[in-house]
Structure 1
Amino acid sequence: MRRVDPTHTQADHRVRCEWGPTGASALAPYADVAVVVDVLSFTTSVTVAVDRGITVFPFRWGDERAAEFAAEQDANMALQRQDARYRPGAVSLSPVSLQHARGIERLVLPSPNGSTICTILDEARTTVVAASLRNASAVGQWLAPQVADGARALLVPAGERWPDSSLRPCAEDFWGAGAVLAELPLELLSPEARLARAAYEDFEDRPLEHLFSCAGGLELEAKGFGDDVALAGRLRSSAVVPVLTRGAFVGAR
């Protein structure tokens, strides 16, 4: 793992916030618990699936071994969102598809951002939690006593990608991270984490309005997935806390 300039680790603060796979990799050694936020749509899909009792295996995007891995785990393989749309009963990164899924108990769910970041953090032996706007309050309340006891927490808004594959920070993931941070003591937050929390405070009163008007929401609605945006924006609609356990997300016990 590449060495990080100590000034970039937010080391003076128990609760930190950093973007994307590079940020996750850089700060993982300094975190006991890492909360990944990919609102549109990986962590929202995980929230919906785990709420329904489905075990979710994250997998790196573009890895050709995904189908083989799904077979080894006796799990269904999630399709591309646009492909699942025309196959009744198929599931994908669309959280709506998971809300209506039947007969699925185990699912391999690759994604270019959230799933890949979860894999990076898991390999770094950090406890990994999936948070969305739906379950952010529950995750924050689950995390708060651990932080109070001295645990170091890292919030990772996943972000999206520009055509050249560079990171595109996105509003919805910053809001989601802030929703978790709103449950934690302000004095323990790094400046980066405080900024996410402040962004959420501006968002909280009109979540669907904001979510449908940000770039990610506009993109999904234009592609015909507005129902996914609406489902993702339902604050405090889930009490589940998905924790990555032996390579799969299950509800915290």
Structure 2
Amino acid sequence: MTSPYAQAGFGVGFDWGPVGAGIVAGDIVAVADVLSFTTAVTVAADCGINVYPYRWRDETAVAYAARWDAKLAVGRSEAGPGDVSLSPVTIRRAEGVSRLVLPSPNGSTIARQLSDGGATVIAVSLRNRRAAADWVREQLQVASRRHQAPRVVAIAAGERWQDGSLRPAVEDLWGAGGFLSALGLDDLSPEARAAVAAYDAVADDLPKLLHECAGGRELTQYGYPEDVAIAAELDESTSVPVLEDGTMFRSI
């Protein structure tokens, strides 16, 4: 019996976090982790940097970076001159970096999980939501000529409370909903329609609301208001980072 949570019968779905990503299966999946993993990936793509997603920054991440001859991102608070972190600001300032291992317990983990399951995974933020939607429509047109109908799903990564439970992050809802809104398809599940409505309701007030939401206030409080400003660069990126072999985001 099909799970009632799978949003079966709809060509476009939406859900939250790694559990939702596992249940609402899609052939093409857009992962939105706006503050800051997928924003950082799009900034890296704009700079010609390939990103290797990784779950944690620990000794295994050091070995993983060495395996791919890549620079390992440090924690935001640890970043010094010349270092790169999850902060998009440091990625823009990076010199001589072509490969970056970017640990993230949310967006990175979900992207690799989905790719391992056979989905085509793209990194979506407010910066590239329209470019990503254009690319997906092209893939759907190609599939249609082959008499195929790939399912498209948007996943809002969310954050974590201290007890490890999912904290729905409204900025990720806006990122996923903004992508679905630009996609412009009709066959949306009720959940996907709700995500589109959430984005459309605030589209005229971005980036102000991104600074005022909990995630934006948190980063600003910790001293990273520029990261929020970069995340709010609506439609300014034409990069579409696609996860290749579950290993590396390369912009197409």
Whole-angstrom distance in 2 between the partners of 1:143 and 1:184? 8
**Displacement of 1:141 after TM fit?**
1.1
Cα distance in 2 between the residues matched to 1:26 and 1:60:
20
TM-score (norm 1): 0.93
Give the drift of 1:170: 0.9
What is the deviation of 1:52?
Answer: 0.7
- Whichever residue aligns with residue 34 of structure 1, its letter is V
Query: In the alignment, residue 67 of structure 1 is paired with which amino acid?
Result: V
Preserved CA contact (<8 Å) 2:57 2:74: no
| Equivalence for 2:61 | 66
Q: What code does the residue aligned with 2:251 have? A: G
Distance 1:64-1:122 versus aligned 2 partners, 3 A rule: farther
Query: Given residue 111 of structure 2, which amino acid in structure 1 is its aligned partner?
Result: C
SS in 2 for 1:48: helix
Aligned structure 1 segments of 4 or more residues deviating by more than 6 angstroms: none
Counterparts of 1:227 and 1:102, CA distance in 2 = 19
Residue of structure 2 aligned with 1:127, choices 110, 117, 120: 120
Answering whether residue 42 of structure 2 is matched by residue 47 of structure 1, we say yes
Percent identity, please. Answer: 49
Instruction: Measure, in 1, the Cα distance between the counterparts of 2:220 and 2:81.
Output: 21
2:136 corresponds to which of 143, 152, 159: 143
Per the alignment, in what secondary structure is the counterpart of residue 183 of structure 1? helix
Residue 195 of structure 2 corresponds to which residue in structure 1?
196
Q: Which amino acid aligns with 2:6?
A: T
Calculate the TM-score normalised by the size of structure 2: 0.94
Query: Are 1:16 and 2:9 matched, yes or no?
Result: no
SS of the residue aligned with 2:85? coil
CA-to-aligned-CA distance 1:21-69 (integer Å, 9 cap, x gap): 1111222xx3111110000000000000011110100011256411101
Within 5 Å, which residues of 2 pair with 1:67-82? 67-82=62-77
Match of 2:95 in 1: 102
Offset, 1:125: 1.6
Report the residue type matching 2:189 in the other structure. S
Query: SS of the counterpart of 1:91?
Result: coil
Asked whether the 8 Å contact 1:47–1:240 carries over to 2, the reply is yes
Residue 17 of structure 1 contacts residue 190 of structure 1 at CA under 8 Å; is this kept in 2?
yes
Name the SS for the 2:186 alignment partner: helix
**Does the CA-based 8 Å contact 2:12-2:151 persist in structure 1?**
yes
Residues in 2 aligned to 1:146 and 1:74: alpha-carbon distance in whole angstroms: 32
For residues 76-225 of structure 1, the aligned pairs below 5 Å read: 76-84=71-79, 87-147=80-140, 149=144, 150-225=149-224
* 2:208 aligned partner, one-letter code: E
CA-based RMSD of the aligned residues comes to 1.3
Paired amino acid for 2:22: S
Deviations along 1:147-183, one digit per CA (max 9) or x if unpaired, are: 4532101101000001100000011000001111012
User: In the TM superposition, what is the alpha-carbon distance from 1:146 to its structure 2 partner?
Assistant: 3.0
Residue-by-residue CA offset, 1:185-244 (whole Å, 9 max, x unaligned): 342111111111111111111111110110000000000000000010010100000000
